Structure formats: structure tokens, C-alpha cells
Amino acid sequence: MVYSEKSPNDHVEILIAQDSSAQAAQPKHLLEGRGHAVTLAANGKQALAAARTHKPALIVSDIVMPEMDGHALCKSIKSEKGLKDVPVILMTTLSSPEDVVKGLECGADIFISKPCDKAVFLSRIDYALSNRTLREQAKLDMSLPIQLRGRVHYINSEPRQILDLLISTYEDAIQINAELCEKQTELTRLAEGLAIKVEERTAALRAEIGERKMAEEQLRESEEQFRLIAENITDLIAVLDLEGKRLYNSPSYKMILGAPAALRGSVSFNEIHPDDRERIRKIFQETVMSARGQRAEYRFLLRDGSVRFIESQGSVIPDEKGRTAKVLVVARDVT
């Protein structure tokens, strides 16, 4: 159907049955803009009374209304001798085949699906008004049985009326199909985009896993190298936590100082000569706070009471976030 600004059926009386004044406002505005005289009824009962009082050229009715719905209104209009030639357009969502059959059973002429844009609405109005004469000429006394989902429906509508209903239903189906095709195209595009993103993310994860494995391998190699160096160097190597407790001692501690290598958890300051202990504790704290390496000389007090002079260099070991986590101390006997 083609919508045009001019219509040969301008300036007729149209009755709108709609319980919502807000929803009735738009079709009323469109029809009055075409020069039609529009009467509003809040339900089917009021619409039937208005039609009996003054016969309209066309009735546009919502289906869901209080007191008398659109189907009952249409059936009443089509059953009255003075009103049965008035075309009835039902506003519906057309959500199932039963909606179409109910419209045929009650004698509706055309469907307009909701929501409906301006062009479609006005073209259906023009079509209904233009075909009033054709429907009048094509009237036949017939009853057509239609079986739908195990139930037989007897349709008394005229052939032209059935054709009009099928055409309006077909147009709605074409429009819905076009919208579904657009949605399908959009979903396909989104799915393709998502697949690309998944592929990119998968590739990035593979690269990240590869880098992590390489880093872990390098870390194992570094730890092995450190272990070999620590076990064979004559310098004293210790790893301390932030409180000065030993996490690691190189074997050289036992070799040079006669102290056991397995001193994990002991406080390193306890082995320093009492006269140097507080000074070294402050240097250690400054190293932790400033994250800067510091040199120091102090006396190491052995278990037999003898003293060894030690020269050490402390450096911080950061964690993965760059915060100071441990302190590495490399020292040598300079007695």
C-alpha cells in the first residue's frame, strides 16, 4: 500500500474506540489532519452507543478495553442491519494466528498492528474507506469452516473482507520479517566482531602464557645460578625479611665464622657486637625505608667470644609491585 498526502475519502466521520486517552491522541490528530471528524469512545459499550446514535463511515477500535472489548464491539456492529456495512479496523499486536481468526470470526475488515507508524496507519484508513463500495458489491451469505490447532472456526466474513484481513496481516508479516532480517544482520555483525575479539584475546593470552613460561624458566635458571654462586663464594650472603630475620644464609657463614648455615628465622642483629648493634639496626631500617643500598662496618661476635670485623653492603629486593619485600646482604670478613 502506498501512502499519499491526498485521499478521495477526506472529510468523513470516524469513530475511535480506545480506553487510553493518551494512545487515542495520536490517531485522532492524524485523522483530523486529513480533514476527518473524529469521535472518541472510552470502551466498546460507549462506541456501540455512539455508532447507533450517529452512524460513522469507519470505526477504529483497540481490542483490549473494559466493559466491551474490540472483538465484541466488532461482532455487535456486524450483527446490526443498520451498521454492518461500516468497516471496522482492529488495532492489535497480532501475536498469534488465533488473533487473525478471532478478527475474522467477529467480522473485522482490517488489522493495524501496534505500534504503527503514520504512513502505515493512514494507508490502512484510506484502503478501508476506498473499498467500502467493493465490499458492499461482493457480499455473499456464506460460512467458511477453518481448522486451527484442533478447533474449527466458522467464518461468516465476506470474501473481500477476508482478503483485506489477509493483506493487512501479510503486510505486517513482511514488516516484521524485514525487522527480523535487520536484527539478524546486526547479530551476525556483532557475532563476527565478538569472534574477532575472542581470537585476539586468545592470541594475547597465548603470548602472555608463553612469556610467563619463559620468565619462569629464566627465574629457575637465575635461582640455580644464585644457588651455585652462593654455595661456592667465600663472601657471606644473607636474605633478610623487613624485621631483620634471616630467610637465607650462604654456606660460607659456617666456613668463615663457624656459625651454622641453617639459621633461618633467627634475628641477624643478635650476632652483632652489642656496641655496634643499635647503629646497624638503624642503618638496616634506613635501607628498608629509603630502598637505597647502604654500606656498613661492624663487629661479628662469635660463640666462643672472639670478634671478627665485617664489611657489608645491603640492597633491597622489591616485590612484583615495586615495594620493598626483602633485603639482600653481601658481606666479607675483613679482620
Q: How far apart are CA 126 and CA 120, in angstroms?
A: 10
CATH class label, 13-185: alpha beta
Judge contact between 108 and 89, C-beta under 8 A: yes
Closest CA to 161 of 108, 92, 93: 108
| Mode of pairing for the β-strands spanning 88-92 and 110-113 | parallel
Sequence spans of domains, the chain: 13-185, 230-333
| Alpha carbons within 13 A on the beta-carbon side of 8 | 6
- Which CATH number applies to 230-333: 2.40.100.10, 3.30.450.20, 3.40.50.720, 3.40.630.30? 3.30.450.20
pLDDT per residue of the chain (335 residues) written in tens, 0 to 9 = 444 444 455 688 999 999 888 888 888 999 998 889 999 999 999 999 999 999 999 999 998 888 899 889 998 998 898 898 898 988 876 556 666 677 777 888 877 777 777 888 888 888 788 776 555 544 444 445 554 455 554 455 555 555 555 655 665 666 666 777 788 888 888 888 888 888 888 888 888 888 888 878 887 877 777 677 766 677 888 888 888 888 888 887 777 776 655 455 556 777 888 898 899 888 888 888 888 888 889 888 877 778 889 888 888 888 888 888 888 888 888 88
Continuous segment of H or E residues that includes residue 87:
none
Q: Give the 3-state secondary structure of residue 90.
A: strand
